[in-house]
């Protein structure tokens, strides 16, 4: 399959809600009718207070969870028509995740960590996994630390390994959940600049979830989530 043109819609949400039912209590309506369109090459940020539903939305965007009502189209395909297995396959091939606490495997080297998503890949990606992982680590400036284990590296370096791991399968969508939350301000800014650059270079869409207004402001479109509703975007200056 050839790569999609930049600017083509990758994710479309129409009236997406998410509610949870807790025994003996009123249902909790976490997301209340989200409309959102994200294209390849976009960098979108979503800012919101703790408990506003950011992780719930991220789980839906990343095919980890499904809307209660409404529809999510991933690459033109309604997610409601996909079974759990199909969602898992699409997620593995098309979505890269970056977390606040890096979530690296502690006993494994930088290279082994970045190779992990390729263990489930098929064809060339599988056979060339060591070369692809080394190339990604070089791209994030860690070409000389391939055999290092995470505990020997700084927070910023660990997050760069996580970026390499998220990008190694050339996903169409990168979801970053508080990517600078465990870093100091300067390191966080450098890591975000790198993430922005490598995402753009790969043609992926980048969605950054953050509490931090400075991190949010790096995106082309900046949304706020509050009371389960997504506001109209603020465009970057």
Q: Measured on CA atoms in the order 84, 88, 90, 96, is the torsion positive or negative?
A: positive
Shortest distance in whole angstroms from residue 30 CB to ligand ATP: 4
Stretch that binds ligand ATP, among 50-58, 72-80, 88-96, 101-109 (CB under 6 A): 50-58
Instruction: Say whether residue 20 binds ligand ATP (CB under 6 A).
Output: yes
Please tell me what DSSP assigns to residue 154. Answer: -
Sequence-ordered list of residues with C-beta below 8 angstroms from that of 88, at least 6 positions apart, any chain = 63
Instruction: Say whether residue 28 binds ligand ATP (CB under 6 A).
Output: yes
Shortest distance in whole angstroms from residue 175 CB to ligand ATP: 12
Instruction: Say whether residue 48 binds ligand ATP (CB under 6 A).
Output: yes
| Strand positions, DSSP E, the chain | 9-20, 28-39, 43-47, 69-74, 77-78, 95-99, 173-177, 205-210, 221-226, 229-230, 234-235
Shortest distance in whole angstroms from residue 39 CB to ligand ATP: 24
Shortest distance in whole angstroms from residue 207 CB to ligand ATP: 13
How far apart are the C-alpha atoms of 181 and 178, rounded to whole Å?
A: 5
- Nearer residue to ligand ATP within complex by CB, 97 or 117: 97
Stretch that binds ligand ATP, among 54-62, 138-146, 168-176, 229-237 (CB under 6 A): 54-62
Shortest distance in whole angstroms from residue 198 CB to ligand ATP: 25
- Which bin fits 64, alpha (ψ -120 to 50), beta or left (φ > 0)? alpha
Please report how many Cα atoms fall inside a 13 Å half-sphere around the Cα of residue 206, on the Cβ side.
Answer: 31
Dihedral angle over CA of 30, 36, 41, 42, nearest 10: -70
Instruction: Say whether residue 67 binds ligand ATP (CB under 6 A).
Output: no
Instruction: Say whether residue 124 binds ligand ATP (CB under 6 A).
Output: no
- Nearer residue to ligand ATP within complex by CB, 48 or 150: 48
Instruction: Say whether residue 51 binds ligand ATP (CB under 6 A).
Output: yes
Stretch that binds ligand ATP, among 47-55, 67-75, 124-132, 150-158 (CB under 6 A): 47-55
Chain-centre distance of CA 73, in angstroms?
17
From candidates 50, 151, 232, 237, binder to ligand ATP by CB under 6 A = 50
Instruction: Say whether residue 24 binds ligand ATP (CB under 6 A).
Output: no
Interface size with ligand ATP, residues (CB under 6 A): 12
The β-bridge relationship of strands 221-226 and 229-230 is antiparallel
Phi, psi torsion values for 117, nearest 5 degrees: -65, -20
Binding site for ligand ATP (CB under 6 A): 20, 22, 28, 30, 48, 50-56
């Amino acid at each position: 399959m050839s790569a999609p043109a930049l600017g083509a819609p990758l994710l479309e949400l129409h009236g997406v809600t998410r509610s949870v039912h807790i025994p003996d209590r009123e249902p909790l309506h976490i997301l209340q009718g989200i409309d959102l369109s994200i294209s390849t090459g976009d960098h979108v940020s979503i800012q919101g207070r703790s408990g506003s539903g950011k992780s719930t939305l991220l789980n839906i965007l990343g095919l980890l969870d499904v809307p209660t009502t409404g529809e999510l189209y991933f690459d033109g395909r309604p997610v409601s028509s996909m079974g759990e297995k199909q969602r898992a396959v699409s997620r593995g091939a098309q979505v890269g995740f970056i977390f606040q606490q890096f979530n690296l495997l502690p006993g494994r080297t930088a290279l082994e960590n970045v190779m992990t998503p390729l263990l489930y890949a098929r064809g060339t990606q599988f056979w060339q996994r060591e070369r692809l992982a080394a190339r990604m680590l070089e791209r994030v400036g860690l070409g000389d630390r391939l055999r290092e284990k995470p505990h020997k590296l700084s927070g910023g370096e660990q997050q760069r390994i996580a970026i390499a791991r998220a990008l190694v399968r050339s996903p169409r969508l990168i979801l970053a959940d508080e990517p600078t939350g465990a870093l100091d301000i300067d390191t966080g800014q450098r890591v975000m600049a790198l993430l922005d650059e490598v995402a753009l270079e790969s043609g992926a869409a980048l969605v950054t979830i953050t509490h931090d207004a400075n991190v949010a402001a790096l995106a082309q479109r900046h949304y706020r989530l509050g009371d389960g509703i997504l506001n109209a975007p603020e465009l970057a200056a």
